[in-house]
Amino acid sequence: MLFIIIVLAILVALILFRMLPVLIIALVLIVANIPTKSHADGKKEHKEACITLLGGSFYNTILESICPFDGDVAAKFKVLYTKGNCSKLVSKKEFDSLAKDVLLDTKKRANEMGIPDFCEGNKEAYFDILKGGG
C-alpha cells in the first residue's frame, strides 16, 4: 500500500513539474526490460514501471472524464501497459487497489481545487504528453 501511495505521489509531482513525458520515455525503456541487472532486479523494475503506467492510465482516464481533454492519453498508457506484458506482473488485487487509490486521490484533489482549477492545473502536462511522450 505504501508503494502505491509513493507511486501516486511521484506521478502527481511529475505532472505538476511537467516531467511526465520524460517519465513515459523512461518507463518504455524499463518495460522493454533491457537486462542491466539480475533477472530478479529487472523483473522488480519492470513491475514498478507497469504499476506506474497503470496509475497513469487510471489518472488520465479520470482526467479525460472530468476535464475537456480529448487526446486519449489514457489509451496511450494502456497500450504501453499491454505491450509491456504488464498483466502478467500486476495481480488483480494490485490492479484493483491502485484503481481505487487513484480514483479516491484524484477526486479528493479535484474537489479541493475545484474542477476548473484542477483541469487547468493538469492541462499543460496532459498536452505535453500528446506532443512528446506518447
Model confidence pLDDT, tens digit, residues 94-110: 999 999 999 999 999 99
Q: What is the mean pLDDT of residues 65-79?
A: 92
DSSP per position, the chain:
-HHHHHHHHHHHHHHHTT-HHHHHHHHHHHHTT---S-HHHHHHHHHHHHHHHHHHHHHHHHHHHHSS--S-HHHHHHHHHHHTTGGGTS-HHHHHHHHHHHHHHHHHHHHHH-HHHHHHHHHHHHHHIIIII-
User: pLDDT, tens digit, for every residue of 6-32?
Assistant: 555 566 555 655 555 555 655 554 555
